[in-house]
Amino acid sequence: MTTGSAYLDHAATTPMSPAALAAFVAEAGRTGNASSLHSAGRAARRSVEEARESLAAALGARPSEVLFTAGGTEADNLAIKGVFWGRRRTDPRRTRILVSAVEHHAVLDPAFWLAGHAGAEITLLPVDGEGRLDLAALRAELAAHADEVALVSVMWANNEVGTVQPVRDVVRLAHQHGIPVHTDAVQAVGQVEVDFAASGVDALTVTGHKLGGPLGVGALLARRDLPLEAVLHGGGQERGVRSGTLDAPAIRAFAVAVADAVDQQPERAVALAALRDALVAGVRRADPEAVLRGPEPRADGGAGGAPARLPGNAHFTFPGTEGDSLLYLLDSAGVQASTGSACQAGVPQPSHVLLAMGVPELDARGALRFTLGATSTRDDVDALLAALGQVVERARAAGLVSGPALAGGGS
């Protein structure tokens, strides 16, 4: 992070926690392949298996249900492709995949790849104006096509607008027809309570760099009886469905980060929500035309006591502006945020999430996502609010043209 800057893009990547970094460095100083049988290999394997047990305990799973991957994208691909192929192998009628229209591209793209290469039929389930899944639409799809559905995938919480989805209701509806459910919980772990067993989902994605762990490591939690075909082939590691040499240093640090994030989640959520509410109120003062997207923060925590949106997420559209222009102007002022939308081939595209929520395309182009994490402070929020008014004014007055596409950006 640049010295003196305000970092408000924790949903893309958040800093490694001191404990995770220390674990990573300690493990990286050792030699050993976890698949080797000599003493160094056994030591690496022991580190991996202790990490597996720790991660499982933190997320309400059994150790045998934890499959380590190289991150959230790989875990999502393994879930979507692996379950689709696994279900079709025993029942060729299972050609349909139901996914919410606001999923991350790590879910949408493999689903549509299967449509183009493996005969899958994709149904995008609609959401309401706050980005919440339309359960009636899911119920109708299941009633009409249950015998053809291979799986349902609905994220635990949206990476752009922060909406927490009714995952347990999705599970209840799908399981009435014997259909497995996958959820991408990449943004949720560490911000809201996530329990694999209690939720009833059949597969769950989590990754390290969103919660204080290293880049390049994640996991798919998958029930042992879930039909799951391998996507990577080779040495047969991870129950034979995810071949590849296990990255013991990253896995150990990942498990430490998950345990810490889950342990600190109740207190951290309260602190993040207070910062977020101050940010939301300040943005509205700085620009009364700004529109908060996603659910309004609610003191009662939403229906059933569950939060309506992630505590560290505030997503706005600023009418009459381009999001990438706002981003560059803020960056010049020392404030780092995200547009929350994809940029393809150098041409900024409106967010598919906002469009699915019914936001007009012109408004969707003026989006900014501000996300908070463990290292966020009131100074970060104040730096944003001090710069925002002038930035929005300049963007509107000049009608700035979008700059070159940003590389990456994460989920």
- Do 320 and 238 fall into the same domain? no
Comparing 299 with 396, the larger pLDDT belongs to 396
- Do 208 and 63 fall into the same domain? yes
Residue pLDDT, tens place only, 155-165: 999 999 999 99
Whether 411 maps to a domain, the answer reads: no
Domain of 282, in residue numbers: 6-15+265-398
The total number of structural domains that make up the chain: 2
> Is pLDDT at 344 greater than 50 in this prediction?
no
Whether 113 maps to a domain, the answer reads: yes
Whether 403 maps to a domain, the answer reads: no
Residue pLDDT, tens place only, 5-35: 899 999 999 999 999 999 999 999 999 999 9
Residue pLDDT, tens place only, 361-371: 999 999 999 99
- Do 338 and 220 fall into the same domain? no
Question: Which of 220, 286, 343, 385 is an active site residue?
Answer: 343
Of 212, 240, 259, the residue that ends a domain is 259
- Do 253 and 337 fall into the same domain? no
Angle between helices 378-398 and 248-286 (to 10 degrees): 60
Of 242, 259, 276, the residue that ends a domain is 259
- Do 363 and 286 fall into the same domain? yes
- Do 73 and 130 fall into the same domain? yes
What are all long-range contacts of 381-385, with beta carbons under 8 Å and residues at least 24 apart?
A: 381/6, 381/275, 381/278, 381/279, 381/282, 383/6, 383/333, 383/334, 383/335, 384/6, 384/8, 384/279, 384/282, 384/283, 384/330, 384/335, 384/337, 385/279, 385/282, 385/283, 385/285, 385/286
What is the rounded average pLDDT for all residues in the chain? Answer: 92
Whether 29 maps to a domain, the answer reads: yes
Q: What percent of the chain has pLDDT over 70?
A: 92
CA trace torsion 306, 311, 317, 322 (10° rounding):
-140
The pLDDT of residue 399 is 67
- Do 223 and 280 fall into the same domain? no
- Do 84 and 222 fall into the same domain? yes
- Do 110 and 178 fall into the same domain? yes
Taking the CB of residue 400, how many other CB atoms lie within 10 A of it? 16
Of 259, 274, 301, the residue that ends a domain is 259
The pLDDT of residue 293 is 98
> Is pLDDT at 232 greater than 70 in this prediction?
yes
Whether 304 maps to a domain, the answer reads: yes
- Do 87 and 169 fall into the same domain? yes
Phi and psi angles of residue 171, each rounded to the nearest 5 degrees, phi first: -60, -45
**Confidence category of residue 411, pLDDT binned at 50, 70, 90:** low
The pLDDT of residue 349 is 83
Whether 404 maps to a domain, the answer reads: no
Rg (CA), the chain: 21
CATH code of the domain in which 377 resides: 3.90.1150.10
Torsion region of 371: left, alpha or beta (phi above 0 gives left; psi -120 to 50 gives alpha)? beta
What mean pLDDT is predicted for residues 329-344? 84
- The question of whether 133 is a catalytic residue gets the answer no
What mean pLDDT is predicted for residues 253-263? 98
246 CB-near residues (< 8 Å, 6+ apart) = 34, 35, 44, 48, 68, 237, 238
DSSP code per residue over 194-241: --HHHH--SEEEEESTTTTS-TT-EEEEE-TTS----SB-SS-TTTTT
CATH code of the domain in which 183 resides: 3.40.640.10
CB-based contact 346:406 (threshold 8 Å): no
Whether 409 maps to a domain, the answer reads: no
Residue pLDDT, tens place only, 172-181: 999 999 999 9
Whether 300 maps to a domain, the answer reads: yes
- Do 229 and 215 fall into the same domain? yes
- Do 245 and 347 fall into the same domain? no
The pLDDT of residue 301 is 47
Phi and psi angles of residue 400, each rounded to the nearest 5 degrees, phi first: -60, 145
Q: What percent of the chain has pLDDT over 90?
A: 89
